[in-house]
Structure 1
Amino acid sequence: MFTVFVLGNIASGKSTACRYFESRGAMLIDLDELAKSLYVPGSDIVNALADEFGWDILDEEGAIRRSILASRAFASPDSAARLNGIVHPVLIEQLSLRILDPVCCTVSSPRYPFAVVEVSAPTGFEDAFGLADEILVISAPLSVRRERAIQRGMEPSDFDARSACQPDESALCNLATTVIDNAAGDNSLFEQLDAWLARHGFVDVVDKEEADA
């Protein structure tokens, strides 16, 4: 199955693009959600995170207090790298199973025309890029993304801390097979996504499925 990794820094429009692809028939894998599913109380990964960031990141039932973990893990690029070093190896293994699972292509399961993997933290995740047929980056300038995030209710200091843990825009775009400019933040994003779908022949597949429904 054709697989595209969608990358983008915070407030770039990456999630919007991924949800749009999902609405057009893609199998969507959100790495943040996949990572959260690994946080089983008592598991090796949870214990490793507690050892690294403090056992008070766990509640009385042993579940991760995500807000506390996030505040510590994204406090600096170094702490973010330590988080990724713990989570990414397990995450890559689980992602491989999802993408390569033959169940997705059986008669009893939906036949997805392509898979979309939403990658929120590409730094340190490059080892998984070999699983992708294409790397697509949703790009917008830092100032634009900061304004968007603040308008959505994020504290400026929180945005600045998280942004400091992410690659700069030019470095991110250098990872891409295709770059989609979302500086405008309007319908031009969807127009560019539709053009991408058409180039890859997925529009006809989706339209046929809708006609057959």
Structure 2
Amino acid sequence: MIRLGLTGGIGAGKSTVAKTFVERGAYIIDADKIAREVVEPGSEGLAALVEAFGDDILAADGALDRPALAAKAFVDDDSRQKLNGITHPLIGARTQALLDAAPTDAIVVQDIPLLVENHTAPFFHLVVIVYADAEVRLHRLTTMRGVGEADARARIAAQATDDQRRAVADVWLDNSGAPEDLAAAAARIWDERLLPLEANVRARRVATPVPELVAAEPNPEGPSARLVNRLWALAGELATAVDVVDAKSVTLQITARDAEAAAGLGDRLADGGFADAGPDAYGSCDPGRPATVRVTVG
């Protein structure tokens, strides 16, 4: 199983990519859908919100009145933290339950609007960013979704910048053209990169790089910086350092806490997309991102 984080700015066209992936067999986990589910009428989440903020956050039909909740929950940091303290654990538990239910050969696509803002990119095998220029997104929001221009601009400004998204991106899908062009690009990524990556991770096999995919690297500096964060997420307490040895060849080094920790890194790295490549070395399972990870003991 591999996990893919899918995100993009509001109005960028993320839903087109998600739909394409689902049509090709993705196991989808939609963060916005989960956020709504955990506060549905009769739910533990809605009961907790009513207890915390009062029953005037309910609509006449007993459902959550989101504007009424927002008027109370976003007045100060304490209220916002109270809201997050109720909803975030429920969202996390539901997400984990869906992950636990995924087939062992699944390509799990987690559709997360605020993936970059929440700093969760390192926890995925791959991050796909759907991009469209801010003015293009503004036009889509105001003409296709009926959002007022001032509101649309505020929503765009409140999200991550293009540079912040590019810094965590493994795949950059440009949606400046027609929806069918975006869908075709997403289908190619599925066939040429995601299917091989999942098969390689499951088989614990180092990928054979595909030049066209490697050349599509979204970051001018290369993938090394984001791989440092990904390796830290995989190694956790077993590591004392993660360093870039050679950015050009994408060679990194994990310094393990001790010999026992070094031995324990093997399974974590293999599950995370870096298969055994010889003594104390691991290679990327991703045909679009060749990399070598060496493990040493500090």
Matched, 1:25 2:25: yes
Question: How far is the alpha carbon of 1:88 from its aligned partner?
Answer: 3.1
Matched, 1:193 2:186: yes
Question: How far is the alpha carbon of 1:119 from its aligned partner?
Answer: 0.8
Q: Is contact 2:121-2:168 (8 Å) kept?
A: no
Question: Which residue is equivalent to 2:37?
Answer: 37
Q: Is contact 1:31-1:118 (8 Å) kept?
A: yes
Query: CA offsets, 1:54-102, max 9 Å, x none?
Result: 75332246431135446777899x998886565334322321221122x
For residues 57 and 177 of structure 2, the distance between their equivalents in structure 1, rounded to whole angstroms, comes to: 38
Secondary structure of the 1:187 match is helix
Q: Is contact 1:41-1:61 (8 Å) kept?
A: no
Point out where structure 2 has 5 or more consecutive residues left out of the alignment: 199-298
The one-letter code matched in structure 2 to 1:105 is P
Q: Is contact 1:75-1:162 (8 Å) kept?
A: no
Question: Which residue is equivalent to 1:168?
Answer: 161
Distance verdict in 2 for CA 1:159–1:66, change over 3 Å:
same
* Of 194-203 and 19-28, the range deviating more from structure 2: 194-203
Question: Which residue is equivalent to 2:7?
Answer: 7
For residues 121 and 36 of structure 2, the distance between their equivalents in structure 1, rounded to whole angstroms, comes to: 18
Structure 2 length-normalised TM: 0.54
For residues 55 and 11 of structure 1, the distance between their equivalents in structure 2, rounded to whole angstroms, comes to: 33
Q: Is contact 1:81-1:124 (8 Å) kept?
A: no
Identity across matched positions, percent: 29
For residues 81 and 183 of structure 1, the distance between their equivalents in structure 2, rounded to whole angstroms, comes to: 37
Question: Which residue is equivalent to 2:126?
Answer: 134
Q: Following superposition of structure 1 onto structure 2, how do residues 25-174 of structure 1 map, counting pairs within 5 Å?
A: 25-41=25-41, 45-46=45-46, 49=49, 55-60=55-60, 62-69=62-69, 86-101=86-101, 104-105=102-103, 113-122=106-115, 125-127=118-120, 130=123, 132-152=124-144, 153-174=146-167
From the two aligned structures, give the one with the greater strand fraction: 2
Question: Which residue is equivalent to 2:251?
Answer: none
Question: How far is the alpha carbon of 1:200 from its aligned partner?
Answer: 2.5
Highest relative contact order (Cα 8 Å, sep 6+), 1 or 2?
1
CA RMSD of aligned residues (A): 3.5
Q: Is contact 2:5-2:115 (8 Å) kept?
A: no
Point out where structure 1 has 5 or more consecutive residues left out of the alignment: 107-111, 206-213
Q: Is contact 1:149-1:159 (8 Å) kept?
A: yes
The one-letter code matched in structure 1 to 2:103 is C
Question: How far is the alpha carbon of 1:129 from its aligned partner?
Answer: 5.0
How many residues align structurally? 196
Question: How far is the alpha carbon of 1:189 from its aligned partner?
Answer: 1.0
The one-letter code matched in structure 1 to 2:125 is D
Question: Which residue is equivalent to 2:265?
Answer: none
Distance verdict in 2 for CA 1:170–1:127, change over 3 Å:
closer
The one-letter code matched in structure 1 to 2:157 is A
The one-letter code matched in structure 1 to 2:131 is S
For residues 131 and 79 of structure 2, the distance between their equivalents in structure 1, rounded to whole angstroms, comes to: 25
For residues 105 and 184 of structure 1, the distance between their equivalents in structure 2, rounded to whole angstroms, comes to: 35
For residues 39 and 20 of structure 2, the distance between their equivalents in structure 1, rounded to whole angstroms, comes to: 28
Q: Is contact 1:88-1:125 (8 Å) kept?
A: no
